[in-house]
Structure 1
Amino acid sequence: MARLRRSFSTEFKREAAALVVDQGYSVAEACRSLDVGETALRRWVDQFRAERGGITPKTKALTPEQQRIQELERQVNRLEREKSILKKATALLMSDEMNHSR
């Protein structure tokens, strides 16, 4: 029988990785105590260390700082799209006005 795929919250992943990184647990010890797979925990630990090193992940961030960076990047992208739309609208209105003034 296949095992159901479990999902874990960002907070759980961060705390699990912190057990290994900050509290000195081995990956195997942490896996046993949390009942998670070793591959998953190693991935979380690697991501946690990378984020602390200043690398913004492609997936959902674990650390609060990287979460904030991802949120700000989303806002910047949205604002850039809006700016592009406004530029195009302005150009369209200007060209329309030039055509009507002749």
Structure 2
Amino acid sequence: MLLQERSPSYARCPSRGVPPPGGRPDTQPGASVMRIASDLGISESCLRRWMKLDDVDAGRVDGLSTSERAELAQLRRDKKRLETEVEILKRASAYFARENILPK
């Protein structure tokens, strides 16, 4: 599976196993993140990003959740489609308006 195909839900389970900042006193801060990332075969930054997304989705951190991002993307696609349709209708109405003015 390519890294781009993995979703944040893939990382939810491992991200819960990572200790809070500072970690346990007997380990280096971030050592668990590195270990978990290497066990999953992903980069540390990728796992950290997934952890951040999980925090936002869970409401622990302010930001747009995954579902809000998906809704926003859908709304932007719909807006673009509607703007295109309006432009087509404007051109069609101008074409038919010219056709009605000229004698046949």
TM superposition score category, shorter chain reference: 0.5 to 0.7
Aligned partner of 1:62 in structure 2 is: none
User: Which of 28, 31, 52 matches 2:31?
Assistant: 28
TM-score normalised by structure 1 residue count: 0.58
TM-score normalised by structure 2 residue count: 0.58
* Number of residue pairs matched by the alignment: 87
Runs of 4+ in 1 over 6 A off after TM superposition: none
Identity of aligned residues (%): 15
Aligned partner of 1:45 in structure 2 is: 51
Cα deviation for residue 43 of structure 1 reads 4.0
Cα deviation for residue 71 of structure 1 reads 1.6
Any gaps of 5 or more consecutive residues in structure 1? 1-5, 57-65
Q: Call closer, same or farther: CA 1:92–1:78 in 2, change over 3 Å.
A: same
Whose radius of gyration is greater, 1 or 2? 2
* Deviates further, 74-83 or 28-37: 28-37
Any gaps of 5 or more consecutive residues in structure 2? none
